[in-house]
Chains A and B, each alone.
Chain A
Amino acid sequence: MLLEIRLFATFRHRRFKTKQMELPVGFLLGNLLKKLDISIKNVGILLVNGKHSDKETRLIDGDVVAIFPVVGGG
């Protein structure tokens, strides 16, 4: 399946902004983080198609995954 991965803020350092990735259907979001070398404890917001998700979420073809560190503002 083909996914679009979007990284933000400090997660872009030495990685990328946006990338298409080919992964097996049902791939776990937690395993995607490992593949990207992002520690779950540094993750603030995990979105799949704009919906808050967690490391147990299974991904499907066409999903857009957005990964943010812990951030705030206002």
Chain B
Amino acid sequence: MSGYSGTILRVNLSTSEIKKEELDSKLALKYVGGRGLGTYFIAKEVDPKADALSGANKLIFATGPLTGSKAPTGGRYMVVTKSPLSGTIASSNSGGFFGAELKKAGYDLIIFEGKSEKPCYLSIKDDQVELRDASACWGKKVSQATDLLTEASGDPKSRVAVIGPAGEKLSLIASIMNEKYRAAGRSGVGAVMGSKNLKAVVVRGTGSVESADEEKTKTVIKDILAKIKENPVTSTGLPTYGTAVLVNVINETGIYPTKNFQEAYTPSADQVSGETLAEKYLVKKTACFRCPIACGRRCQIDGVEGEGPEYETLWAYSADCGVYDLPSVIKANNLCNEYGLDTISAGATIACAMELVEKGHIKDDELDGTPLEFGSSEAIIEWTRKMGEGEGLGAKMAQGSYRFAESYGAAELSMSVKKLELPAYDPRGVQGYGLNCATTNRGGCHVRGYLISPEILSLPEGIDRNSIEGKSAWVKAFQDLTGVIDSLGMCLFTSFAIGADEYTSIFNAIVGQDWTTEKLMQAGDRIWNIERQFNLAAGIDPDQDKLPKRILEEAIPEGPSKGQASKLGEILGQYYADRGWTEAGIPTPEKLAELELA
């Protein structure tokens, strides 16, 4: 079957056994690939109640049928595992070139099992696959480890996905970094890799991903490229300013969380905006595999080049920490990339710690003389370093804001959902987005159903951000479509320019199917439900479909959205009904049967 390579690589790190298994094509189609297929294997093979950092958990690198193909932006892959941060299913997406390279080497998925006794890495050169000693790069930061491993591979075209010191030290907010700057960032997937003593995956693939119908593929791609070129977001906004263009938009609407969500507007946003970043620090823009958008930002500060910061990072380290000093934010972002830390969770945890200091929970003698008050540029840099090194109080902060705040008896100051830190929008001023955050299967996350698009950006059409009318149907549709895009292996940003019909067309052309759009969207629904089933079995009850206490109980105090409050309680029941779940939020037997999950 075209699109898929047809082979799963199964690597047992306890026994060093490496097996190649045939991918069941019916199974592949049922779960599409990437996030969906990876979740299927985790749900089937991992006890949902297993300790996420034990050998009983598995770590899957999953490509989709369009990864490595000619599809525009078809370079995405997913890391799927049980999250040690949230205890939920985790699927963390990354771009760059690693995913495409893995597919070109001939593998749809790598499933890592067990735990290696000593630091190791997996080396893949097409069909030659072996586990190697990683002692020479263990302890090294991301860029140095990447350079060492690329050199050791003997092929500069090798692609490297690696953990930094944070993952090695089992920080629950550790990321996996590929090509130095692209991150499978969220949910602590880097800690799972670290717990297995697996430093990296190095891959070189010389094959190609064929289409079932080359002529049809050409026609569909031409149409998609034209739509990407015509669309102002994908043709101008993202290439010119990157994701950071949102800083001013979100601030001007008064939903820009400031000082750990204590406020939602700042007069200083433009000092750390995409416009300012482009004017002062941008060296060049960069693109991932087969991407015509090129939203990547290569920035330089004090002679050091790095990529980003992205919008969410800019927010976490600036407004959320009350710091409006762009050079320091860029440095903190670079440190996260080097240590392998999720920039959203790292910045948000520092912001939470700053509020713990402000409220008197953290005493001066715990700080080793390092400032930790809102507005301190030194704090965001030094505490990021301490988290990365696991040094002093930084080691405790590296477990994420929930555990950190809970250790002071103040868990309510963690602005997280299911222990995953919320991104850069105040849910009180955007009701659909709030519902999405409360219900996502991996916790506080914006990229599972980006309702900011219609509610704030008026794309594909504007809807009233304060109303709950029709919002649950919007959220379900966005969540299901996102599940599909994440499983195909394309970038979510294409959805600014194209819709479900175009994803169906490109899937049909490359994989050789004649699916309807409804069938593709049903696969998204299936993916959502299998994730939900895993979470329920893991003990993540529906009462976790909520938002932080502050968000649920207090209105936005100042700024353009002053007085707006969360309406989650009024809308959650409708969402469960739209999903075909019981009033208690459990998928019904009929729904599971309809999705062939019973």
By the criterion CB–CB under 8 Å, are A9 and B270 in contact? no
Query: How would you classify the secondary structure of chain A's contact residues: helix, strand, loop or mixed?
Result: mixed
Is B253 close to A, CB under 8 A? yes
Is A45 close to B, CB under 8 A? yes
Neighbour of B232 across the interface among A52, A66, A70, CB < 8 A: A70
CB distance from A7 to the nearest CB of B (A): 10
CB distance from A53 to the nearest CB of B (A): 11
- Chain B: residues with Cβ within 8 Å of the partner, total of 44
Contacts known (A8-B249, A9-B245); A72 close to B238, Cβ less than 8 A: yes
By the criterion CB–CB under 8 Å, are B232 and A9 in contact? no
**Hey, which chain A residues are within 8 Å of B233, CB to CB?**
70-72
Is B241 close to A, CB under 8 A? yes
**Hey, which chain B residues are within 8 Å of A6, CB to CB?**
252
Contacts known (A6-B252, A45-B458, A66-B252); A73 close to B311, Cβ less than 8 A: yes
By the criterion CB–CB under 8 Å, are A74 and B450 in contact? yes
Is A17 close to B, CB under 8 A? yes
Is B83 close to A, CB under 8 A? no
- Chain A: residues with Cβ within 8 Å of the partner, total of 22
CB distance from B326 to the nearest CB of A (A): 16
Neighbour of B243 across the interface among A9, A66, A73, CB < 8 A: A73
* Complexed CA–CA distance, A6 and B265 (Å): 15
Neighbour of A69 across the interface among B232, B246, B493, CB < 8 A: B232
**Hey, which chain A residues are within 8 Å of B465, CB to CB?**
52
* Complexed CA–CA distance, A31 and B204 (Å): 58
Counting chain B CB atoms within 10 Å of each CB, the highest count among A47, A66, A70 belongs to A70
23 residue pairs bridging A and B, Cβ less than 8 Å apart: A6-B252, A8-B245, A8-B252, A9-B240, A9-B245, A9-B274, A9-B275, A44-B458, A45-B456, A50-B252, A50-B253, A50-B254, A50-B559, A50-B561, A52-B462, A71-B237, A71-B241, A71-B246, A71-B249, A72-B234, A73-B244, A73-B295, A73-B311
Listed in ascending order, the chain B residues whose CB lies under 8 Å from chain A are 231-234, 236-238, 240-246, 248-249, 252-254, 265, 270, 274-275, 295, 311-312, 446-447, 450, 452-453, 456-459, 462, 464-465, 492-493, 496, 559-561
